[in-house]
Amino acid sequence: MGYLKTTVLMAAMAALFMGVGYLLAGLGGAMAALVAAAAMNAYAWWNSDQMILRMHSAQLVPPGDRLGLHALTAELSRNAGVPEPKVYLIDTPQPNAFATGRNPANAAVAVTSGLMRSLSREELAGVIAHELAHIRNHDTAIMTVTATFAGAISILANFALFFGGSRERLGLVGTLLMMFLAPLAAALVQMAISRTREYAADKAGAEICGEPLWLASALEKIAVGAARIDNHAAERNPATAHMFIVNPLHMHKHDNLFATHPSTENRIAALRDMAVRSRGVAPRSGQRSAVNSRLSSTHATKRSGPWS
């Protein structure tokens, strides 16, 4: 159902883009909009990962890092059945993370220094597993396409006054309404797709790391940190907010039309329900899976990260 909903929303985004083109310049405008969308999406699909990593000043983490971030990512990648992505560190105190890349073979996972300081090894495994789920589900490509569509619709709508065809079809008032409503509709569709994919990645991430409660605990800590600590790079580039595991822009808690992410409380509740269903009983304190045991034996003490 999640994939069906995403497909329907993507089709709605494409239809909206062509509709704006038609209102601006008739059938020729609709065709031109379709061609322009294809060209922009091809460029964004190929270059989006490096563009986004540069926006956030992400630094490549070399193999064999002191925290074992590569080793952890490699183990979880095997569990997920995807190639090991490149690993990046973002020097910001806000705990957060995101994945990017056009496909699983050309993907990257970026975590913040605040995340490394805030989470236990098990919680970090839950976060990385969530991002690997996005990569496996091709969510990074989907969100790149929707963000490109949304941006293109906004640009087209802002030029509406300069197209005589739109004024003839809609009149001045109608043209002004389109300039406001078309970008709003595009943003709503983009946010709805993002919320749908977050729930799916939570579920798949919990299965990859083997313990839903690790991700639930991580989300709780990240939500507190993200609400309290500013992420200046994200504030400068709000179009990338939907990529993070928790919204870095201090949005409201509710699942509403204007939220890039579902409510963190709802996500935590779903993960806890998943943990209960997988066991048949409420989880007991201290219960660990095989992955947890390996991680704990390798990283028994908290260490300073490569940003220090």
Question: For residue range 144-154, what is the model confidence (pLDDT) as tens digits?
Answer: 777 766 766 76
Strand 86-90 to strand 97-103: parallel, antiparallel, or no bridges (unpaired)? unpaired
Mean pLDDT of 29-57: 76
Instruction: Examine residue 305 and state whether it is found in any structural domain, yes or no.
Output: no
Tens of pLDDT, residue by residue over 75-99, are 999 999 999 999 999 999 999 999 9
Instruction: Examine residue 307 and state whether it is found in any structural domain, yes or no.
Output: no
pLDDT tier, 235 (very low <50, low <70, confident <90, very high otherwise)? confident
What's the mean per-residue pLDDT of the chain?
77
Measure the CA–CA gap between 242 and 130, rounded to whole angstroms.
Answer: 14
Instruction: Examine residue 303 and state whether it is found in any structural domain, yes or no.
Output: no
Q: Residue 230: pLDDT above 60?
A: yes
At residue 196, the pLDDT reads 76
The DSSP output letter for 244 is B
Rg value, the chain, Cα: 21
Contacts of 172 (CB under 8 A, 6+ apart): none
- Is 131 assigned a catalytic role? yes
At residue 303, the pLDDT reads 40
SS3 percent helix, strand, coil of the chain, rounded to 5, is 70, 5, 25
Measure the CA–CA gap between 178 and 181, rounded to whole angstroms.
Answer: 5
Identify which has the larger pLDDT, 212 or 22.
212
Query: Pick from 91, 98, 57: which is nearest to 260 by CA?
Result: 98
Tens of pLDDT, residue by residue over 247-284, are 888 744 444 444 557 788 888 988 999 998 887 644 44
Tens of pLDDT, residue by residue over 98-109, are 999 888 999 999
Owning domain of residue 61: 2-298
Q: Which two tokens stand for residue 153?
A: 């619709």
Structural domain count, the chain = 1
Instruction: Examine residue 208 and state whether it is found in any structural domain, yes or no.
Output: yes
Instruction: Examine residue 106 and state whether it is found in any structural domain, yes or no.
Output: yes
Instruction: Examine residue 23 and state whether it is found in any structural domain, yes or no.
Output: yes
Identify which has the larger pLDDT, 116 or 302.
116
Active-site choice (75, 122, 131, 198): 131
Measure the CA–CA gap between 170 and 178, rounded to whole angstroms.
Answer: 9
Side-chain-side CA neighbours of residue 94 (13 Å):
23
Instruction: Examine residue 304 and state whether it is found in any structural domain, yes or no.
Output: no
pLDDT tier, 307 (very low <50, low <70, confident <90, very high otherwise)? very low
Instruction: Examine residue 176 and state whether it is found in any structural domain, yes or no.
Output: yes
